[in-house]
Amino acid sequence: MKYTVLFLFVLLFAAGITLGFLGRNVVFVKNSAGGNFPIAIKTPEPEKTLLILGDIMLGRHVEVLMDKNGEDYPFEKISGLLKGADLVFANLEGPIVNDHQRTPELSTFFSFKSSIATLLKKYNIGVVSLANNHLLDQGKIGLQDAKDLLALASVAYTGDPTTIDADNIFYTKLGNANLALIGFNATWPSFDKVKAFNLIKSVKTASPDKFVIVYLHWGEEYQVKSNAAQKALSHEMIDAGADLIVGSHPHVVQDEETYKDKRVFYSLGNFIFDQYFSKEVQTGRAIRVKFSGGSVSYETIPYVSKLSQPQPVL
């Protein structure tokens, strides 16, 4: 009987070792008696990437080009970059609506087809900022349509054109990184920066491990240098708890800086747009944020656009 009990004990002990090694690499080393002894080595956490883009405008003349060449046209030369990321985050520069009418060529009141939501998802754009000066171009109905159609396509959103609210924050996880994505529209005089600071502080206070990314619509159009107001606002937001700040609205690439070890990319420029009047409005960059083993690193990926088709610069 005692041999049976001993055998069962050894069997259970061996099973425990085996279960303990699941999900790990195992190497065997020789002990002093010449036998092999297993040692578990924890498998390194795979790197996860967040790709952040600038302004996406899929109406007006971009829509004309898509009707002529197919809906995939704007993404054809950059799809590999988008699909190679774990998550893509961009500024949606206009409402996706059910009752769509094509935007006239000279109009700045944008409207996008309802099918645009599924097109974004097809190209791995999983979250968009609605905090800009164009989401209300088709009124409150257009804004609500955009939210509903994005939700149906499983595309998340953050921010609002006018409202600063905790309900508009998008939370997600990439590997072991806990992210909070917050969009703010600072282009209108009604922007309440104190309320924005308090929202950032509340997120960081509740969860100090959250990596807070703020996407700001701000600055002056077509200016390649950030202004003093942008710099002051970005610094105050970092002081409030932001870990990364990216911007859009100028339609051109602006400078970047590091403040208190936090990165600020003042403007990423146009990603997809129908502006062709200068080299600057047809040049942009994506930011690849890499999360690995508790560390964060950044890679800037430049691209050029020709007739609303961005292509990475190799």
**CATH number of the domain located at residue range(s) 48-312 in this protein:** 3.60.21.10
CA distance 199 to 131: 15
Least-confidence region, from 23-27, 90-94, 145-149, 301-305: 23-27
- Model-level pTM greater than 0.85? yes
CA distance 227 to 237: 16
CB 221 within 8 Å of CB 240 = no
Would you list the domain boundaries of the chain? 2-42, 48-312
Question: In 3-state terms, the chain is what percent helix, strand and coil (to 5)?
Answer: 30, 35, 40
Q: Is 160 helix (H, G, I), strand (E, B) or coil?
A: coil
pLDDT tens profile 203-249: 999 999 999 999 999 999 999 999 999 999 999 999 999 999 999 99
- For tokens 């409150």, the residue is 140
CB 114 within 8 Å of CB 96 = yes
CA distance 252 to 254: 6
Mean pLDDT (whole number) for 133-138: 98
Residue 99's identity, in one-letter code, is D
pLDDT tens profile 151-200: 999 999 999 999 999 999 999 999 999 999 999 999 999 999 999 999 99
CA distance 144 to 114: 12
- For tokens 């050029």, the residue is 304
